Amino acid sequence: MKRRALAPLVAIALLVAPLARADALDALRSFVAEAKSGRADFTQTVTSPDGAKTKKSTGSFEFLRPNRFRFDYAKPYAQTIVGDGQKVWLYDVDLNQVTVRPFDRALGSTPAALLAGGAIDRDFDLKPLPDADGLQWAQALPKTKDGSFQSLKIGFKGPLLAAIEIVDAFGQRSRLDFKGFEANAAVPAERLRFSPPAGVDVISQ
């Protein structure tokens, strides 16, 4: 059965610090150390490697450390991604299909590992970048070179997470713009569990 790519998992990269620090790199490290939960809305723009095609989607996310998160994509396709600490579940509503992978295999040295609270200095080479587009930026390059993405940039406006840009292994660029990020928000644990709905196809990878 045809399945959409797991690009939203890359999107899971997504979350970095709402805390004011000297630069974006300090904010990133502070987020991993201090933000125990959070939520926000997002708009994601995916651009083809040649820059000729773009696709937009919108949704919301929540996370709760350690190792739990949820992404709900609303438009143009309804998808839910849940990491429960043991597995990562991708539910594609239109395809009536759930894909499930072991948590460690699904994340590894990926942007999602930042969200999950991994050892970022162990898994990524980090450096601050020059300010651009009115934002402060940090870069995270995976130390494992055979992963699903080439580079990750995280942008802040003042103390708040503003954007994330990801270039995957095929040169496709994804940018997520965040709105209303709440650090250390009260996220119910049951929101970060998933049971496949009755009648859907479940594919284990």
pLDDT one-digit tens code per residue, 111-121:
565 665 656 77
- What's 7-182+193-204's CATH class? mainly beta
27-49 pLDDT, tens digit each: 787 777 787 888 889 999 999 99
47-90 pLDDT, tens digit each: 999 988 999 999 998 888 878 889 899 999 899 999 898 999 99
Task: Locate the domains of the chain by residue range.
Answer: 7-182+193-204
SS (H, E, C) the chain: CCCCCCHHHHHCCCCCCCCCCCCHHHHHHHHHHHCCEEEEEEEEEEECCCCCCEEEEEEEEEEECCCEEEEEEEECCCEEEEECCCEEEEEECCCCEEEEEEHHHHHCCCHHHHHHCCCHHHHEEEEEEEEECCEEEEEEEECCCCCCEEEEEEEEECCEEEEEEEEECCCCEEEEEEEEEEECCCCCHHHHCCCCCCCCEEEEC
91-116 pLDDT, tens digit each: 999 999 999 998 877 665 455 656 65
pTM: 0.78
Choose the weakest-confidence range: 11-15, 145-149, 161-165, 187-191: 11-15
Q: What is the mean pLDDT of the chain?
A: 80
